[in-house]
Structure 1
Amino acid sequence: MSDLPRKALSRTAKLASLPLGAAGRATVGLGKRIGGAPAEAVYAEFQRRTADQLFAVLGELKGGAMKFGQMLSLMESAMPEELAAPYRATLTKLQDSAPPMQASTVDTILSRELGKRWRDRFDEFGDVPAAAASIGQVHRGRLKDGREVAVKLQYPGAAEALRADLRQLGRFARTIGSLIPGLDVKPLIAELQERIGEELDYDREAQAQQQYADAFKDHPEFVVPRVVKHSPSVIVSEWIEGRPLSSYITGGTKEERDAIGLKYVRFMFSGPKYAGLLHSDPHPGNFRVMPDGRLGVVDFGLCARLPDGLPPAIGRLLRISLKGDGLAVRDGLKAEGFIKPRMEIDPAQLMDYLAPFAEPAREESFQFSREWMRAQANRTGDFRSPNASLALRLNMPPSYLLIHRVWIGGMAVLSQLEAEAPFRSVLEELLPGFSDD
């Protein structure tokens, strides 16, 4: 048997261990309860061990499993606190960590992509990766001209691993959902499957990164590293030194978190206007706070191409919704393809469903929180709620898929930060159609 089938079987076995492990822990928990242990203690131990296994398996596999875990870590702010707490630390690790490739594998990739004498281009090259994530890892080096660079390499067989993992995760979607209650994992897996090609194309990613770097050169708020060299599986770009945004979620002051949250939102809305791109992977692992306070941004593997900026309909409909005109909002959503022509939607119910999207724009300053995010998830996630049935009837036009992802994911990050800031002013400045009369 070749190495590839062996690895595929190993990955499948590890993914399969998630539901089996959960069942085993449930049995142990039942035994403890019979033995007299308090139910709360048994459940807490069950959640902790499930979180440990989830990280161990998803983190070790990288690929689609790792990417899926990163998306889960982004949305933990929407989970009930008693369920989120045991998962928070382990899922946060998935935002920017994974086991590294062997040094010999790194040498093979760089010899193929940069030439056999690739080390002659560097004064220094760190064989131990500085960062590792879902489909690649990053090494730090210094070129002969003195520039500090990040060398990002794609894992061998990343495409096969992504597809195999996502197929397997799809089979276990219901079981994995039971491990993390309150989240519907099927849409997450479906979106990852649709975006595989974009995630794997490092030439495409390098083009997007350079486009951002050109747009924000010498910007007072943002730093995007310029691309030095790239190939289908390697990107060499300027190194940026900064503290991970995720560390401020757990250890930042209120002043720091508020300032970071505002810069984070400004970056997301500035991209379409000034670079013609929307950075569409909003999890905290892609952001660094620089020593001078600017927000550094990395990983441009998933970007929506918006050469004309964000659709003006978004700002226009948001403005109309704030005025409470449900009929106009319904007609506008029909025109954009969110509501199919012959489908009847109650305007009042529609306004209630859309309230979370509009609420942060209603006040001059808005306070995000985990409690607020959980409340919004409950409004639409409870199958007994009219909002849940309405969500199933709405249509998502393909051109809005990544915009919707960023909007929801961005609110999740702001809720993790517990950020309070004048977000309405950002919309007035950068969202087309929002301030128009």
Structure 2
Amino acid sequence: MLRLALALPLLGLALVPAAFAGGGTRRWFGGRGESQRAEAQAAKDDAAAAFYELDTAQRDLRLSIETITAVDDSPGARRAVDGFAALGQRIDEVSHAYITAVDAHDLDRDELDGATANRARTELTRAKDELVRVKGELDRFAQGLGPLLDKAETQLARLAPAVERARQALRSASTALDTVRQSGLRADDLAARLAALGPELTRLNEGAGRHGVAETLQRADQVVRDAEAVRVEAERLPERAAEIDKRLVSLRTRAEALTTRAGAVEPVLSELRRRFSAACWQDLQHVPEQAAHSVHQAEERLHEAAKARAEQRWPDATSLLTTARSLLNATDEAVSAAGDRLRRLDAVAKDPRQETDRARFAIRDAQRLAMAGRTTPDPRHARPLDDAVGRLDRAIAALDSGRHPDYWHFLVELEAIRATAAHVVEEIREERGGGKARAGR
């Protein structure tokens, strides 16, 4: 009974500190024990802060990697992805070690003794150090991504403006097309081209997340070019219609004039037949019928072009007008050739020396150039010039020997002689010019 009576006051005294501690159940260590608990708790707090910093850095780096891979598929970008994956494995390892250390020690329990508190502090400090070390690796890796990330962010910065430019270009093209239609022009082909850009706009609106940044930028640029082309053509369409109308009138007038001129070719041919040998005119004897046929074809194309213009088939109208003009050009040349032939034959028949002198001058000029700075000419230049002299002598002799000289052959031959001399001059100048250029280098 005495022992029990003595024990009761001691138990009462043992309960007093707990009551002053606010009614909790933790056993009061006091002194060294509480200090060890506090150190372990500080180590836990430091480890938690390191864990949070590492997790935040990993999240930021993941965003950077996603930015790079959205734009870049280069070997450097793929190496960055692999490096980030390897770092992720190390992060998982140290994070697991940290979580294990935290779960292994309940620093709030009453029965925590000093040895356990010291062990908890040691393990948590080790986990914190590993977290800090891997965080350093992560930071260095992130610094190495600088060039790739700058490039990717530059591409991404271009994305929104590029897509907006595409939308603006489509709106401008649509507005221009509406304006043209209000003036009475259908512009069906332009409308079809603009409608074909609708799916491209849909893909642009779906965004780079689905189609990739590079593909989206390329698509936006292409839409801008195509829409701009539609806008320009739509704005020019009234002018184009007026131009087609003007060309129709002009070419019809020209066709009528050529019909009149073609009728004058036959008298010219009669004069050539009467005064000159057959060799001087036989290549022209089909000009009247060929001219009539070509003018008729041109008039048919003009009729078709007028129909295409009325139906607003602008490309067809333009193509038909081009064909008609080519036919009329060829007819004009053929009709003019007859009159030109007669004038040239008249001139050479009266005085062949003028043509002869022109050919001799061309040969002599080439010969002087070939001898400039040399004692003997280059055979590559001398041979064609010597041949030209022989051809000239034979042409003059042929003209003087016949009763009905072939003046046309004479003119053609002398023209060929002048062309030979001009070709030699051009070769010499190119060779000497190239030599000067090499010497300058």
Structure 1 length as normaliser, TM-score?
0.16
Structure with bigger gyration radius: 2
More helix by share: 2
Which one has a larger percent strand, Structure 1 or Structure 2?
A: 1
* Higher normalized contact order (CA 8 Å, seq sep 6+, divided by chain length): 1
